[in-house]
Chain A
């Protein structure tokens, strides 16, 4: 599964009840992600991509695409 699909799948399973998630979906307003969902997403992204994500990293993000970009940056730093 490609990078973006993996992230969308994690968000869908952790916070979207298996619904299709789009990059433009707003994290709080559309997906209603709460603090427990957020915690689950963070840990699953960490496991999937071998990165470390702080809760603060997610707090500033507004839409799903922001998560995809942030994870991409973390992976680049980890591989640099």
Chain B
């Protein structure tokens, strides 16, 4: 990001903290795509992702005055959207216990035969992971949370977090076995 853009972002954030709805609109326009992509990775379908996106932006607006300009604004926002996604999953009373995860049938058993690995295929692959694996996989691999943080967020033990990550990897390896 160039200096001028950074300045723009800082002034946007400050304007937004002061309740400027136009500035908030601008922030929304800039970041909604990336944030929607995060929600799509975590949630089961587009409707749920929309809910998470909406909740997330409401939180961003309410808490933007608490942003201290110490880290990246996008990183700060990403955490909010991961949080709001996880909250929504939790609201659906999704329990991440191992027995349930094992009972899930694997929806994608195909070998990948054609085409190149692009972002859309990766999104599909992640979305196809059973929910329990998917949350941990998303948090650990893509969004860079530690197992400790994951266990705090999801109220599971660290070893469960690790187990689920292992299973997610195993699943992906199976789907992608021709790629290695």
Q: Do A and B bind each other?
A: no
